[in-house]
Structure 1
Amino acid sequence: MRKNKVETEQTIRNLINIARHHFTEYGYVNTALEEIVKEAGLTRGAVYHHFRNKKGLFLAVFEAIQQEIGEYVETAAAKSNHSWDQLINGCQAFLEGAAASHNQRILLIDGPAVLGWDTFRKMDEKYSMNSLREQLQLMQEQHLIQPVSTEALTHCLSGAMNEVVLWIADHLEQKDAIEDAMNVLRLLLDGVRK
């Protein structure tokens, strides 16, 4: 029984990895499910069994990327013991991860279009905003930020970062654009700093 579970998990990971490559390379519309199952050595039925349809497979890929970026943000934030630096490091890591060329099409173009705004926001809430909210609440408890609504502050910062990622993605020199965005984010955050 345990071997079947391990094999199933491996099959799902394999499908997600292959699909991620196809969705990144060709976009959602131009990705053929037949090509993914052929490359995976499976049948369409196997994909339908695990993901129901192409959109379900795309959602799994989208969620895997969101999870990776969330882990990248956590790792970057943990490089400091100071809450303020953790926030700054986490913001920069989010911009870098979301604007990375291998994530752009899935996260920024196809994600909102294919999944719809509600699902997109739920994934953002689950993998990005919750961590940001926790950090801001901690900082408020430490009296590092003004006594403002952490819920409102979380939404303001998240919205700003999501929008600036789109701006960064349009630049050839993304490193410079991220640096410019971080300079502005630091100034914005200084406004709530105690």
Structure 2
Amino acid sequence: MPSPDRPNPPRSNLERTQATRHALLEAARVLFVDKGYADTSTPEVSAAAGTTRGALYHHFVDKRDLFRHLLLREAQAVKAEILAASADDPSPRQALIDGAQAYLQAMTVPGRTRLMLIDGPAVLGLGDATAIDDDNAADTLREGLAAALDRAPAEIDALAKLLSAAFDRAALEIDAGAEPQAISESMLWLLRRVLGDDDEAVD
């Protein structure tokens, strides 16, 4: 702990850069969730972050680029929660089940469903939004299915796409006010059927 008589050492350029970038992303998240992408301006984001528009455009090409980086950060956070929940599972099947539950829980973070599943495709286009998902949550699902099922790669890819869409729909339903436990249990029932498990109580 620094001495009370000695000021904290000045931050490095890298630390200041990272702090500014973090502040811009945090401010943008609040505004995009509260007001929506279209009704949020870059001057508002800069002011909320306590910085200048010049700083914003130093870190991001434009508002769309800022949104893309925010969406990527959200997707990476979801993937991290899935991996953390399934890291110690004894079998690929249990890892899939625990990862599925972690995904639905991660998507309950306020504003995340709107950012990732509603505004993301609208702002970036379906292709770019899907590419971000493919590198994150969808990637963990695809790898989990490949480890748990003896299927051809093309079949795994098709299953992953269909299940990913179902999980996204489940997250949207929960966000819209559906009973979370009922949705979660239904998705786990579906996942167990895909895995070929016998009927059994949901964990």
Q: TM-score range by the shorter chain?
A: 0.7 to 0.9
Partners of 2:26 and 2:49 within 8 A in 1: no
Q: Does 1:103 align with 2:112?
A: yes
Cα distance change, pair 138–182 in 1 and its aligned pair in 2 (3 A): closer
Pick one of 140, 156, 166 that aligns with 1:160. Answer: 166
Q: Does 1:90 align with 2:99?
A: yes
Cα distance change, pair 100–190 in 1 and its aligned pair in 2 (3 A): farther
Higher helix share: 1
Pick one of 44, 57, 62 that aligns with 2:71. Answer: 62
Pick one of 122, 145, 154 that aligns with 1:113. Answer: 122
Report what 2:135 is aligned to: 126
Between stretches 23-32 and 57-66, larger displacement belongs to 23-32
Over 4 Å off, 4+ runs: none
Gaps of 5+ in 2: 1-10, 198-203
Cα distance change, pair 184–147 in 1 and its aligned pair in 2 (3 A): closer
Question: Offset of 1:99 from its aligned partner?
Answer: 4.3
Question: Offset of 1:96 from its aligned partner?
Answer: 2.2
1:136-175 alignment, distance < 5 Å? 136-139=145-148, 145-148=149-152, 149-175=155-181
Partners of 1:62 and 1:106 within 8 A in 2: yes
User: What letter matches 2:79 in structure 1?
Assistant: G
Deviations along 1:69-97, whole A, 9 cap, x unmatched?
A: 00011111124222211011111211222
**In structure 2, distance between residues paired with 1:102 and 1:44:** 24
Partners of 1:70 and 1:128 within 8 A in 2: yes
Partners of 1:171 and 1:177 within 8 A in 2: no
Which structure has the bigger radius of gyration? Answer: 2
Report what 1:142 is aligned to: none
Report what 1:31 is aligned to: 40
User: What letter matches 2:70 in structure 1?
Assistant: V
User: What letter matches 2:104 in structure 1?
Assistant: L
**In structure 2, distance between residues paired with 1:67 and 1:44:** 26
Between stretches 53-62 and 167-176, larger displacement belongs to 167-176
**TM-score (norm. length: structure 2):** 0.81
Question: Offset of 1:38 from its aligned partner?
Answer: 0.9
Question: Offset of 1:163 from its aligned partner?
Answer: 2.8
User: What letter matches 2:64 in structure 1?
Assistant: K
Question: Offset of 1:132 from its aligned partner?
Answer: 2.0
User: What letter matches 2:113 in structure 1?
Assistant: Q
Gaps of 5+ in 1: 140-144
Question: Offset of 1:35 from its aligned partner?
Answer: 1.9
Which structure is richer in relative contact order (CA contacts within 8 A, separation 6 or more)?
Answer: 1
Partners of 2:93 and 2:195 within 8 A in 1: no
